[in-house]
């Protein structure tokens, strides 16, 4: 959803937000579409069950007897058995399809490795070398309140953002150095656990420029809330310029 007044995207939490952040990847668009489809069935179920409860209260409260075929019988039991099964099938097939599509990592153009620590993230770009002939890597710490600039987000801004190009297939490897962390960014539709000694991977394809905010989503210790994630997506020219400066 685009804000018509400020012409901005909602890529960070907003006060009293009741819906998803704006999507920036195909997988997030798929998740939002699946959510809306499931909500359609849930609303139908809500009204159907509500009507049944109202009908029971209206017809049978205070009644000493009712017709034996009015609320018992083969047909009605067949209906309330088969109908939920059909609804579950209609929900299951789209969700399984999206799950397997999100799990695929096909022919990535670049790789980023993210490692969780107590309590910060480390990033490495193994495909690109700096002037010393070593892969580009850096640590990303939360910006304390005393150093926040005007307009930046408290508890969400970091000193070193993850810079990525748009319209590029990116493989992100996620691991941890100490305890279990979780690399999550709502606008990108990503939430992957980071385990010590294990390398999980996710696929990332960002379709527009922007700054996307996330946080560790696994309770990893006393400063769990102090290791945010900031992904900044730029065009190819801006990304190449950033590589040149590093």
Per-residue pLDDT, 5: 33
Task: Provide the Cα torsion 60, 64, 66, 68; round to 10°.
Answer: 120
Q: How many CA atoms lie within 13 A of 213 on its CB side?
A: 19
Rg of the chain, C-alpha, whole Å: 24
| Residues pairing with 88 in the sheet | none
pLDDT of residue 59: 74
Q: Which residue carries 């939360």 as its tokens?
A: 142
What distance in Å separates the CA atoms of residue 120 and residue 216, rounded to the nearest whole number? 9
Q: Is the dihedral of CA 229, 233, 236, 241 positive or negative?
A: negative
Residue matched to tokens 């849930």: 42
pLDDT in single tens digits along all 246 residues of the chain: 444 333 467 788 888 888 999 999 999 999 999 999 999 999 999 998 999 888 878 777 766 555 665 556 778 788 888 988 999 998 999 999 998 888 888 889 999 999 999 999 999 999 998 888 889 999 999 999 888 888 889 999 999 999 999 999 999 999 999 999 999 999 999 999 999 999 999 999 999 999 999 999 999 999 999 999 999 999 999 999 999 887
The pLDDT assigned to 7 comes to 47
Q: Rounded to two decimals, what is the model's pTM?
A: 0.83
Alpha carbon 208 to chain centroid, angstroms: 17
């Amino acid at each position: 959803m685009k804000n018509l007044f400020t012409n901005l995207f909602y890529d960070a939490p907003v006060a009293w937000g009741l819906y998803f952040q704006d999507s920036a990847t195909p997988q997030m668009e798929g998740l939002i579409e699946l959510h809306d489809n499931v909500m359609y069935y849930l609303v139908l179920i809500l009204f159907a069950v509500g009507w049944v409860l109202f009908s029971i209260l209206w017809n049978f409260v205070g009644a000493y007897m009712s017709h034996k075929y009015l609320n018992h019988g083969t047909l009605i039991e067949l209906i309330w058995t088969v109908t939920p099964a059909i609804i579950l099938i209609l929900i299951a097939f789209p969700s399984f399809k999206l799950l397997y599509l999100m799990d695929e990592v096909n022919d990535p153009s670049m790789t980023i490795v993210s490692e969780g620590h107590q309590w910060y993230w480390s990033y490495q770009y193994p495909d690109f070398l700096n002037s010393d002939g070593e892969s580009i890597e850096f640590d990303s710490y939360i910006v304390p309140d005393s150093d926040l600039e005007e307009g930046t987000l408290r508890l969400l801004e970091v000193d070193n953002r993850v810079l990525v190009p748009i319209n590029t297939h990116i493989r992100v490897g996620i691991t941890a150095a100490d305890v279990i962390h979780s690399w999550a960014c709502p606008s990108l539709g990503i939430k992957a656990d980071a385990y010590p000694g294990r390398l999980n991977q996710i696929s990332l394809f960002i379709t527009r420029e922007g700054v996307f905010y996330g946080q560790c989503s696994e309770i990893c210790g006393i400063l769990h809330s102090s290791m945010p994630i900031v992904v900044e997506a730029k065009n190819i020219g801006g990304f190449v310029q950033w590589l040149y400066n590093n």
